Amino acid sequence: MKHTPGPVLVSAPAPEAYFTGPVWTELQASGVLRVTFAPGSRTAWHTHPHGQTLLIVSGNGLVQKRGEAPVAFSAGDVVSIGAGEEHWHGAAPGSLMVHFAIQAGETVWLAKVTGEEYSGK
């Protein structure tokens, strides 16, 4: 048996430039983040050059692809986002939400999600 220790996990507040509301990130491994969203917190619009997979660990959330209505998800769900798709994701209004975000390449950050976009109006 061989055991390779992982990185020292440090939870840090997510940058306000790219998130609305309290959000914490924790690097798990290269290209894998554990992200905790307070109720109603969310990412800004963004893209990933090679797509992104979200593994929902706890709580309820929302994800929206540009031009489509927001979609609800909950613990145990998997969300697959295609390469280059403009999208955002975050916690539902009354729920803390935690997910693992898996992606390769740099995130391209865009405008923050408005309250109207978040509420699906």
Q: pLDDT per position in the chain (121 positions), as tens?
A: 988 777 667 789 999 999 999 999 999 988 999 999 999 999 999 999 999 999 999 999 999 999 999 999 999 999 999 999 999 999 999 999 999 999 999 999 999 999 999 998 7
pTM metric for this prediction: 0.91
The rounded distance, in Å, linking the Cα atoms of 81 and 89 is 11
* 8 CB burial (10 A radius; 0-12, 13-18, 19+): exposed
Token pair belonging to 61: 């959330």
The residue whose two tokens read 């997979």 is 53
Taken in order of first residue, the domains within the chain and their CATH numbers are 21-119 (2.60.120.10)
